[in-house]
Amino acid sequence: MGKLLWTERQDIGPSARNGHAMAYDGARQQVTLFGGVTGSTSRVSDTWVWDGQLWTQAQDTGPPARMNHALAFDNNRERIVLFSGAGDKPLADTWEWDGTEWTQVADTGPSARTGHALTFDSKSKRVVLFGGQSDFPVGDTWSWDGTEWTQEADTGPKPRLQHSLAYDTIRERVVLFSGWTAVNDTWEWDGSQWRQVADTGSAPRYAHRMVFDGAHVLLFGGQGQSLPQGQSAPIFGDTWSWDGKHWTQVQDIGPGPRIYHAMAYDSNRSRTVLFGGVGSAGNRGDTWELYEHS
């Protein structure tokens, strides 16, 4: 593995925000971003695409404005799937983006929730969902086949929110790390059951983000767990790699520390793309790319 380097690409494009979501559209070879919150309470419903050079607003109609939703690209059906998030209250709707327009495809399935995570399991050809919060944190696993949601499991990782999922296409596993109410535990889903595979690695955190770069699961950012009264929980700006057995810190410079950002892996350009989030100075509107430098 060569050295991974972060490079800032743009400071123009979508407005500064957090709680948005991104996915790489492999059919159209662009990163798609939807929604989030600008300012302190202004949820938005805009759709943007990043082609590696420029951000372009693709749509301003579609799903209602929301934050803390999740996106995943269904590589089999060539659609980006969006589930839930919070408007004025947690939602329970499913939408799909075909590169041109949004279509609502379901209003039944998992309970209304926010702070959950999605990823596409290319072996089962299903989008996998885990966890989140409605009235309380949940620990259920669901899959979407393009027509309906199916509950796969209600055992495995303990209930949590603001965790992250990524699908390892080599090892054919969904990887989950940490989250709110969790410790620094790592779990893997093989399509039928969850198995805890590590309890060490980076510090426990939530509101971090992960992608799979074709070789490793990469993690950036997040916030540490609550500290004793009077102490602020740390916000991280570190990058870690999971090889299926161990977490390794691979970078400690790059984007400033942040939470509630979004990441996607552009497989055509071999770049991890990061946008926005919130740090010590408030919402960010910057675009960064992580790539391997020999």
Sequence spans of domains, the chain: 3-293
Residue 55: is its pLDDT beyond 60? yes
Residue 40: is its pLDDT beyond 80? no
The residues, ordered by sequence, that sit 6+ positions from 51 with a Cβ below 8 Å of its Cβ are 29, 30
pLDDT value for 292: 85
**How much is the average pLDDT of 183-200?**
95
**How much is the average pLDDT of 180-196?**
94
pLDDT value for 187: 98
| pTM for the structure as a whole | 0.96
Give the tokens for residue 120. 């596409």
Residue 226: is its pLDDT beyond 90? no
**How much is the average pLDDT of 140-155?**
94
Residue 114: is its pLDDT beyond 60? yes
pLDDT band at 182 (very low <50, low <70, confident <90, very high): confident
User: Per-residue pLDDT tens for 5-17?
Assistant: 999 997 789 999 9
pLDDT value for 228: 67
Residue 227: is its pLDDT beyond 80? no
**How much is the average pLDDT of 258-286?**
96
Nearest-angstrom CA–CA distance, 272 and 261: 13
pLDDT value for 230: 67
- Higher per-residue pLDDT: 225 or 237: 237
Q: Provide the mean pLDDT of the chain.
A: 94
Determine the topology of domain 3-293 in CATH.
Neuraminidase (2.120.10)
pLDDT value for 154: 78
Residue 1: is its pLDDT beyond 60? no
Nearest-angstrom CA–CA distance, 251 and 238: 6
Residue 272: is its pLDDT beyond 70? yes
**How much is the average pLDDT of 242-246?**
96
pLDDT value for 251: 73
Residue 289: is its pLDDT beyond 70? yes
